[in-house]
Structures are given as structure tokens and as C-alpha cells.
Amino acid sequence: MKIAPFGVEQWMNEWETGAVTNLAETCVDSMTMEELLDISDASGTSGAREEIVERMMKLRLSYGDILGSDELLESIASMYGRAGRGNVMVMNGGSAANFISLYTMIEPGDEVVCAYPTYQQLYSIPESFGASVKLLRLRYENGFKPDVDELKGMISDRTKAICVNNSNNPTGTVMSQSELREIARAAESVNAWLYCDEAYRFMVHDQSAEIPSAFDLCERAVVTCGLSKCFSLAGLRLGWVVAPEGFINEAACRRDYTTISCGRLDDLLGCVAIKNRGRIFERNLSIVRGCAAMLDEWVNSERRIDYVKPEAGTTAFLRYDYEIGSEDFCRGLYRKDGTFLLPGACFGPEFDRYLRIGYAYSPDVLEEGLRRVSGFLRDLDEEAGPN
């Protein structure tokens, strides 16, 4: 089966490791093992850290519980309003969760509608399984929110799934509960799945707001998430699918062929992370909110850069007004002084005057990186001459 090259991941693989200031990182500043254990120790349970280390040392490195430990499945389910452990399947990261879910769902000849720009898995995997994919473009003028009337015009009895990503990577926009419900109703009207990648769901900038899981809003929803972004634990490679039990059973049948089990260490530390998510989110939201404010100030200070201000997540989609394609822009910036941004063209040719910035990594890196981007913009201003 053929599959389109993954634009974002290929660009990251090529440029990321040599970057001096990396403004393309999408995980909130990743934690060390030590930080994770410190956070669990701060839980007030005396000896929590020692107990975890002891459990790790005694852990027999077998396959472990094939479907994941009871504690892990139950703690994941507890993050959803109406999920039980039978609604949860753990995989190696959200990317594997997306793959197995779409592998379970899609058959040749199906139609899929996918809102984009988004994480490319959500349309290229269905396409590789033989679906005919219709892309619903998210427009700057609509605040990068789906136009539900346009969506309704794209679905039919052949539609198997409507794929969305809430909050959205790259734009950082959020669909509200009522917007999500409207899309869910559109999916229900043609008996299609609502497929929602929720990798950034817990990083909402407004302290009083929350992003509802699509699973809690609709009967025929499949949602994915993981520990990489909001929990800062990409190195654990733990993600999950939450879906109706029948779907999970179907997916489990495919999982036997690809995964057997997730690592036992990942399972153990995943339980620690989810149990301590209050403190982890507190740490991360303070980074995300501080960095988002710094980014906003910078965008307002740059005459030829604008954006739809992100409401959640760790990324924003910067629109620029210079006569240079986004790949040349990013190569030029990188060559000048090692600053790394992601070209909008990785999300499709329509987005060639955009750049994706990942801003929630470290305030110092962000500050330095933005200073360097401004330096590059002054070079472009100079080349363009007075206007």
C-alpha cells in the first residue's frame, strides 16, 4: 500500500537535531525521570519516590499485561466522563493509536472528510487504506474553525468518518462544545464516525475553559490522546484510543499483529504520570501560558506577521507578508543562525505563506528564537527595499 510522505515529520527529521534555537518543538518542555519522580514525591505521600524506584527495580521485564495494566486502563478512563476501562486501548504513542484506529475503521471505497491543516496522519492514513478523502479547509478568516455548512455539503451515506483535531495542530484553535456537537450531529446524520485527535486537549490557555472530549459528546466517536504533549513525556511512547467497546475489540484484534503489549516501564510510569496529572498540568500550563503571552507580544510587534491567536496547545500558525515561500523562509532562517521553524507548506501548498511555531518548550529559547526571527525579517525588509 502506498502512503504520502509525512511532510511535517520529514522536515523535523532533517533539520531538528542540528538546530541552535528550536522553535518547532510541539511537546511542552519534556521532563526528566527525576522531574517526574519529584512531582510524584510532592504528592504528599511520603516515600512515593522510593516506592516507584523500588517498583521499577523489581519489575520483571516480561510483556506484562498484554492490554495494559488495570491501573493504567482505569486511570486513562477516569479522564473521560463516560468511559470505562473497556473503552480504552493503549498503544505506543498517539501516532500508533491513530494508526490502529484508522486501520480498524477504514475500508477501500469509504469516504472520509478531514478538516485541515492538521496532523497528516488523519488524512494520509485513510487515503493509504483506499478511502477517498475530502479535505475541509480551515480558513484564517473563520478563525481556523470548520465551516459546518461546508462540511454538511461534503458528507454523504458513503462517509465513514469525519476527522478533526481539537485543539488543532498547527493553528492552536479550539472547537467549543457546541461546535463539536454540531459536527457530531452531522456525522450521526450519515451514520459516520466522529474521529477526534485530542493530543493537546489539556493545554487550554484560558484558566476557566476546558476542551470536552468528543467521546463524551457523541455515541459514535473515536478519540486519541497520549502522554507526549500535555504530559511532557514523549519518551514513554504511550498513547491511547477511547471508543465504544465493540470498536476497541475490533482494534485489539489488529493490535495483536502490531504491538502485543506496550512496555512495562512505560505502563508503570504512565500510571505515575496520570495519577499526578494535576501537578504536571500546573507546571505545563504555566509554561504554555507564559510563552503564549511572549509570542503574542512579539506577533503584535511585527508589522508583517499576524495569526489567529491560539487558545490551546503548544503551536501557532503565523501568517507572513513577504514574497518568499515557506520552505525557503525556513531554510534561510536556519542557515542564518540555526533557528528552526516549520514551513506551512508541510501542511499543504495552500499554506505556503505560513510558519508553524512550537512555542511552549522553554521561555529562554523562545525569547532568543523570536529575536533571531526578527533579525531575519529585517534582512527580508532590507531586500524588499522601502515600501
Ligand X SMILES: Cc1ncc(COP(=O)(O)O)c(C=O)c1O
Give CB contacts under 8 A, 24+ apart, made by 123-126: 123/163, 124/3, 124/4, 124/6, 125/3, 125/98, 125/99, 126/102, 126/161, 126/163
Strands 305-307 and 239-242, sheet pairing: unpaired
- Angstrom distance (rounded) from CA 140 to CA 309: 11
Closer CB to ligand X, residue 269 or residue 377?
269
H or E stretch including 354?
Answer: strand 354-358
The neighbour count for residue 180, using CB atoms within 10 Å, is 24
CB of 26 to ligand X, least distance (A): 5
Q: Are 103 and 91 a contacting pair, CB within 8 Å?
A: no
Closer CB to ligand X, residue 104 or residue 372?
104
CB of 223 to ligand X, least distance (A): 11
Would you give the distance in Å from CA 283 to the centre of its chain? 18
Q: Are 172 and 311 a contacting pair, CB within 8 Å?
A: yes
DSSP bridge pairs for 343? 355
| For helices 33-41 and 264-275, angle between their N-to-C axes, nearest 10 degrees | 40
Closer CB to ligand X, residue 90 or residue 271?
90
CB of 336 to ligand X, least distance (A): 26
Closer CB to ligand X, residue 12 or residue 155?
12
- Using alpha carbons, list the distances in angstroms from residue 243 to 46, 216, 344: 37, 10, 32
CB of 116 to ligand X, least distance (A): 12
The neighbour count for residue 289, using CB atoms within 10 Å, is 16
- Angstrom distance (rounded) from CA 274 to CA 277: 5
CB of 54 to ligand X, least distance (A): 28
Q: Are 97 and 224 a contacting pair, CB within 8 Å?
A: yes
Closer CB to ligand X, residue 48 or residue 269?
269
- Using alpha carbons, list the distances in angstroms from residue 173 to 85, 133, 145, 261, 354: 30, 23, 7, 34, 15
Residue spans of beta strands (DSSP E) within 35-156: 88-91, 111-116, 132-137
CB of 90 to ligand X, least distance (A): 11
Q: Are 10 and 330 a contacting pair, CB within 8 Å?
A: no
Closer CB to ligand X, residue 49 or residue 229?
229
CB of 30 to ligand X, least distance (A): 11
Query: Which residue ranges make up the site for ligand X (CB under 6 A)?
Result: 26, 93-95, 98, 119, 165, 169, 197, 199, 226, 228, 234, 239
CB of 185 to ligand X, least distance (A): 24
Query: In the chain, what's the furthest Cα-to-Cα distance?
Result: 69
Closer CB to ligand X, residue 146 or residue 226?
226
Closer CB to ligand X, residue 124 or residue 165?
165
CB of 374 to ligand X, least distance (A): 26
CB of 48 to ligand X, least distance (A): 26
Closer CB to ligand X, residue 171 or residue 372?
171
Closer CB to ligand X, residue 48 or residue 198?
198
